[in-house]
Structure 1
């Protein structure tokens, strides 16, 4: 699950509080991944320890970014939040610490990290919508964008883990019609909007549907020809959105021209953001 377990209890009311919150979230993630790395290393699963070590490095980089940003904005490092003041339900190791290391793999580990970044994106999106000042809302939007980029990077790593040793063995497939798939997403989003009684959620589905419709028209007039993926696209809305996000990420890494890769990466950013929103909406 990639949604918040509950809405943040109170609006963030100062930049100092926002930066302290960001620091606390990143530090918790780094500490928890470090614990998991140690557990995997103790169990002799060096390859998984390396995965969690990479996640620790990712989170350490995020911490450094928050500290640097804090020095620029408030001329000092962010404060450390008391545990009871930290946001709840953002980081979730999904019980992986209780599972035998023999049953854990790189794909599952990275999938958990992806969902954590999506929850962080949902948190900062909420703060951006309810911030006490324009400065806080703008900063929260920036944090949401950062989490989205983190999720995109981890999705790429997760995809590599899943398809490791499979690409060469795959049968050659014709590229899928991405325009038609985006139009299918549009149709499904409109259906979800029609079934929902909440005006706010209905409008969010319709905004996403309009975006998918525009993407479909763009891809119809100027098709993107990424490498063929392994496996056909699924039909459920959230799974199809996830398939497209992974497909665009893969295209952004493997298309032959820089212009095509840049275009695919832009599509990936849109698709990852859409997926995070859909994951949140379908659970409501």
Structure 2
């Protein structure tokens, strides 16, 4: 399971309209294009041709992001004139291509095309997570559909880039004479256990809530009332030294773990069916996590 989240901070700013949504998407695409362009330029050295394959990858990535910029501008141009321009709050922008990742790769004498493609996959995975959060927070159907479209496009891009990464990985492993299909199993088998623990903690949480808040929790978590009642009847008391305040924190922590597991599994998938299942689970898990966080925060105010 990944040690750090894909996003440095999860989106908490509710996008208010399509103009703002496209403004955010445009800034993100422009920043990515600029970052990839700088990387390609930094790897241009007439005296050192070993980094030429890596430079070519970043040139390709820059061109892809430039195409994305043009596409987003086209979509924004279809909005009514008064809705086409929007100021983007700085807090709403997530850097999808962190400079630290690029700097580490540029400074390494052992950088490879596989590492470059891996950065691009993480970039589009971050976009998928970001826009899934935006869709989860959206109250306007039109806005939610637009955010879901951007999330779905990010998934498609990640799939294409993942294939390039896999080809680069195979080429590297073949050059070293090692197995290119080594995999680390076990994540999905433990996800079922975490899902069970999450369900039990949600049932514990529901027991201390008033009916209106209990219904909101059920809606946030996607748990049916009948299932909750059955689980609640079998729950033991809180562990020694535990307090009711710990329960919401465990709920969010388990939801975070599951999101990370499903994202990791989609990254390791080797066939289309496995990939689609993991991506569906990841999308649902991200939306659930966003709702549970929002619900927990609402109870604190």
Query: Same fold per TM (> 0.5)?
Result: yes
Q: 1:171 to 1:48 in 2, by over 3 A?
A: closer
Structure 2 counterpart of 1:154? 161
Structure 1 runs not aligned, ≥5 long = 206-235, 249-263
Q: 1:188 to 1:22 in 2, by over 3 A?
A: same
Report how far residue 244 of structure 1 moved.
4.8
Check conservation: 1:107, 1:161, Cα contact below 8 A: yes
Report how far residue 40 of structure 1 moved.
1.2
Structure 2 counterpart of 1:25? 28
Pick the aligned partner of 1:38 from 26, 30, 41.
Answer: 41
Q: 2:137 & 2:74 partners in 1: Cα distance? A: 25
Q: Map residues 79-158 of structure 1 onto 2, 5 A cutoff.
A: 79=85, 84=90, 86-98=92-104, 99-158=106-165
Report the structure number with the largest CA radius of gyration.
Answer: 2
Question: What is the TM-score normalised by the length of structure 1?
Answer: 0.65
3-state SS, counterpart of residue 16 of structure 2: coil
Question: What is the TM-score normalised by the length of structure 2?
Answer: 0.62
Q: 1:22 & 1:243 partners in 2: Cα distance? A: 23
Q: 1:127 to 1:165 in 2, by over 3 A?
A: closer
Q: 1:40 to 1:171 in 2, by over 3 A?
A: closer
Aligned residues: 227
Q: 1:37 & 1:129 partners in 2: Cα distance? A: 36
Q: 1:166-193 CA distances to partner (integer Å, 9 max, x unpaired)?
A: 46967799xx9xxxx8xx7654221112
Check conservation: 2:262, 2:278, Cα contact below 8 A: no
Report how far residue 71 of structure 1 moved.
2.3
Report how far residue 204 of structure 1 moved.
7.9
Structure 2 runs not aligned, ≥5 long = 203-216, 224-259, 294-301
Check conservation: 1:67, 1:77, Cα contact below 8 A: no
